[in-house]
Structure 1
Amino acid sequence: MKRKYSIITGFMGTVKDRFIDYQPARSMEEMVKMASKVKGCSGLEVVYPQNFTNAAELKKMLDAYGLGVSTVNLNVKGDEIWRYGSFSHPEASVRRKAVDAMKEAMDRAAQLECPIVTCALLNDGVDYPFEINYMDAFSHAIEGIREAAEYRKDVKISLEYKQSEPRVHCLLNNAGKMAYFAQMTEQENVGVTLDFGHALQALEVPADSASFLGQTGKLFYVHVNDNFRNWDWDMVPGTVNLWDYIEFALALKQVGYEGWITADVFPQRHDPIRIMEKTFEWMDYIFDVAEKIDEDKLRQMQKELDTFEIMDYIRSLL
């Protein structure tokens, strides 16, 4: 499998949490220039509209640095208007702005010769019981995404799920619910962004999630990072859950995923260029191990139900 690695633009710019500002604000060109120095990086996931609005200017800049676009990330969570949600917001006027924003992002993606828009509806959800009517919220979100998907059949909409943050309970919070949501839109160009760390946080087995989404035909895009299953820490992949990552890489191979692998890694106390290079180094290692696995031999051992023979075999490939 040819590996196409990209970086989310935001992680090359301002990085902060509730306590510390870790990285300074940088212009789009500064972020693009930094990304071009990352060994193994072929492109960027560009955030709209926070990082760019003029697609022609951005395309010219990316071409100058030899970078492609993995996806356009529509951010409907960072501005005040989205405080109480976007596509499921109780106010019809806000939902309309969300749909229009998605259509604009799809237009920008087409201008950038990128066939996919990813979006995380993380403000769509609740903090306390009884805050929303869940049936209405789910229906509103389906209607809005369906309208946007019908607008341009040549651009895919890939929705990213997460258990929590910034809402205590996100409306679209696991692989199964997200796949069902995509199917409910009745649009072939609506699918799912699988973030490895979000799958861990939701107490999923990432390989299971990748296999399930791949079988449903809804695995559109992949984010890689790692954590301890207690929070979305966005660490370098494989540094915590190496076994899970090898199984995940094998699952991607089995479902035929050939899309971008994008680093969603938080470089708070590390140089952004170095931490992204380490991300791609670790992913190369993980994919290389997965490639060594004799799948016929593995299937036979799985039939024989000898767990430790399987684990010893995988360990022998490390």
Structure 2
Amino acid sequence: MERKYSIITGFMGKVQDRFIDYQPPRDIKDMIEMASRVKGCSGLEVVYPQNFTDPKEIKNILDAYGLGVSTVNLNVKGEEKWRYGSFSNPDPKIRREAVEALKRAMDHAAALDCSTVTTALLNDGVDYPFELNYLDAFQYTLEGIREAAEYRKDIKISLEYKQSEPRIHCLLNNAGKMAYLAQMTNQENVGVTLDFGHALQALEVPADSASFLGQTGKLFYVHINDNFRNWDWDMVPGTVNLWDYIEFALALKKVGYNGWITADVFPQRHDPIMIMEKTFDWMDYIFAIADKIDEDKLAQMQKELKTFEIMDYIRSLL
């Protein structure tokens, strides 16, 4: 099966942590040009409104480099107005702005020949006890996402969950809760973005999360990266959790996921082009191992509870 890899635009420009800025600032044209030089890259996840506002302009640039759009990433966390949340914000004016921003992102996705908008509601949450009415917050979010989904049935809304950051406790922080919200909208075009590193940080088993979301029909989009489960470090996939990644790749295969696979990898102290090429190279290696697995043989060993026979079998394929 041919796999489509993409890169988030922002990672080709300036990135920063709490202490240091990495890479020089670049405009969207320079980011796209850099991405076009990454071996294996077929498209970009374009961030709205930070990286673009005019879909015609950005489409012309993408077309010139032969790149597609994996998704439009609606950023509702990078501006001052989203400080206390977006779709769950206690202020109805801010909630209205979030809904309208999502609708505009959906329109832009259609103009870019893209079928999906993804968004991570990471400012929706709390830092201290009693800070938020959780019942209201969930209901506000549900109503806002439902309204946007009804606005354009032809565009999917893929919601990304995370345990924490920037809020200490994000409202929508695991695969199950996000899938439930998506189901509660009663809209077929609402689903979930599964970020491998976020699943690790939430102490999930990524293959389990992929299987669950795929089985429920809510696995819309995938981000790849890696970490030590203590923070969302956005490392090259497979460099830390190789076993988990092989199992994850097999789970994607089993549920028939054939959508984009996007590098959410932080270049930090390394050349961004090299880091993205390593990301796709490692993923090709991981998928190649998963493709070698005899699923009937594995299923029989699982039924017989032959745990270490299974591990030895997988190890023989490395």
TM-score of the superposition, structure 1-length normalised?
1.00
What corresponds to 1:38 in structure 2?
38
Q: What amino acid sits opposite 1:271 in the alignment?
A: D
TM-aligned CA deviation for residue 17 of structure 1: 0.7
- Say yes or no: does 1:215 pair with 2:215: yes
Matches within 5 A, 1:223-262: 223-262=223-262
Identity %: 83
How far apart, CA to CA, are the structure 2 residues paired with 1:13 and 1:151? Answer: 33
5+ unaligned residues in a row in structure 1: which ranges?
Answer: none
Give the number of equivalent residue pairs.
318
TM-aligned CA deviation for residue 15 of structure 1: 0.4
What corresponds to 1:294 in structure 2?
294
What corresponds to 1:201 in structure 2?
201
How far apart, CA to CA, are the structure 2 residues paired with 1:18 and 1:97? Answer: 29
What corresponds to 2:169 in structure 1?
169
What corresponds to 2:115 in structure 1?
115
What corresponds to 1:263 in structure 2?
263
TM-aligned CA deviation for residue 12 of structure 1: 0.3
Q: What amino acid sits opposite 1:60 in the alignment?
A: N
How far apart, CA to CA, are the structure 2 residues paired with 1:69 and 1:196? Answer: 21
What corresponds to 1:313 in structure 2?
313
How far apart, CA to CA, are the structure 2 residues paired with 1:131 and 1:188? Answer: 32
Q: What amino acid sits opposite 1:227 in the alignment?
A: N
Q: What amino acid sits opposite 1:123 in the alignment?
A: N
How far apart, CA to CA, are the structure 2 residues paired with 1:51 and 1:105? Answer: 12
How far apart, CA to CA, are the structure 2 residues paired with 1:202 and 1:285? Answer: 26
How far apart, CA to CA, are the structure 2 residues paired with 1:276 and 1:53? Answer: 25
Q: What amino acid sits opposite 2:41 in the alignment?
A: C
How far apart, CA to CA, are the structure 1 residues paired with 2:286 and 2:238? Answer: 8
- Say yes or no: does 1:55 pair with 2:60: no
TM-aligned CA deviation for residue 60 of structure 1: 0.6
Matches within 5 A, 1:114-193: 114-193=114-193
TM-aligned CA deviation for residue 19 of structure 1: 0.1
How far apart, CA to CA, are the structure 2 residues paired with 1:280 and 1:212? Answer: 25
> What CA deviation, in whole Å up to 9, does each residue of 1:162-214 have, x standing for no partner?
00000000000000000001001111000000000000000000000000000
TM-aligned CA deviation for residue 2 of structure 1: 1.2
RMSD: 0.3
Q: What amino acid sits opposite 1:307 in the alignment?
A: T
What corresponds to 2:85 in structure 1?
85
> What CA deviation, in whole Å up to 9, does each residue of 1:195-243 have, x standing for no partner?
0000000000000000000000000000000000000000000000000
TM-aligned CA deviation for residue 23 of structure 1: 1.2
- Say yes or no: does 1:18 pair with 2:18: yes
How far apart, CA to CA, are the structure 1 residues paired with 2:186 and 2:128? Answer: 31
What secondary structure, in the 3-state scheme, does the structure 2 residue paired with 1:247 have? Answer: helix
- Say yes or no: does 1:284 pair with 2:266: no
How far apart, CA to CA, are the structure 1 residues paired with 2:305 and 2:23? Answer: 49
> What CA deviation, in whole Å up to 9, does each residue of 1:76-98 have, x standing for no partner?
00000000000000000000000
What corresponds to 1:103 in structure 2?
103
What secondary structure, in the 3-state scheme, does the structure 1 residue paired with 2:267 have? Answer: coil
Q: What amino acid sits opposite 1:219 in the alignment?
A: L
TM-aligned CA deviation for residue 14 of structure 1: 1.2
5+ unaligned residues in a row in structure 2: which ranges?
Answer: none
How far apart, CA to CA, are the structure 1 residues paired with 2:27 and 2:91? Answer: 34
> What CA deviation, in whole Å up to 9, does each residue of 1:7-35 have, x standing for no partner?
00000011001100011110100000000
How far apart, CA to CA, are the structure 1 residues paired with 2:170 and 2:20? Answer: 25
List structure 1 segments (4+ residues) > 3 angstroms apart after TM superposition.
none
Q: What amino acid sits opposite 2:54 in the alignment?
A: N
> What CA deviation, in whole Å up to 9, does each residue of 1:232-290 have, x standing for no partner?
00000000000000000000000000000000000000000000000000000000000
What secondary structure, in the 3-state scheme, does the structure 1 residue paired with 2:118 have? Answer: strand
> What CA deviation, in whole Å up to 9, does each residue of 1:19-62 have, x standing for no partner?
00011110100000000000000000000011001101111100
What corresponds to 2:74 in structure 1?
74
